Amino acid sequence: MKNIVLFASGNGSNAEEIIKYFKNNNQSTVVAVFSNKQEAKVLDRAKNHNLPAVVFNKEQLNDGFVLEKLHQLQPDLIVLAGFLLKFPESILKEYPKVINIHPALLPKYGGKGMYGMNVHQAVLENKEKETGITIHYVNEHYDEGEFIFQQSVNIEDCKSAEEIANKIHELEHQYFPEVIGKLITNH
């Protein structure tokens, strides 16, 4: 059985889709959810699926606390599903299989501060005809790791960042669990 650990900072809709996708999988399973926010809705979602959750602060992400918790779980893959802190090199050295999903077609609209509605608002203001999702490996720089998968969507009919966000969420929920499944099966 291969273990997946999820990191999320917010609502956790992607995390929940991933948890459900692997719920009855006999090859891979989500073993825990990590969050840097005590009030994150993702923690309720983890609890509803009887998954252990680890809550930590920014210092604990970098001082060895999170790394120690990961050692206990021995993840085969770490998935960032709406995790907003920069992932530390100390963890990447020991767990190089870390992937992230970004709500745009990288390399456009990536980098520090480009997450969630910030991305959708920038896409809207630049009058883009399409946007999409990028699933990529995590390295020491924001949104610069090797691409694994991209999927685009036409947004010419979108009049607000919220409408763009809805289309992106549909793509994320449809493709993210599948791509994780293929990735972990091939490792």
Residues annotated as catalytic (active site), given as ranges: 102
DSSP H or E run through 51: none
Q: Is 92 left (phi over 0), alpha (psi -120 to 50) or beta?
A: alpha
In 36-117, which ranges are E strands? 53-55, 77-80, 98-102
Sequence letter at residue 50: N
- Long-range contacts at 112-119 (CB < 8 A, ≥ 24 apart): 112/142, 114/142, 114/143, 115/84, 116/10, 116/82, 116/165, 117/161, 117/162, 117/165
- Copy the structure tokens of residue 130: 């399409």
Is 66 in contact with 58 (CB distance < 8 Å)?
Answer: no
Residue of 136, 139, 82 lying closest to 107 (CA atoms) = 136
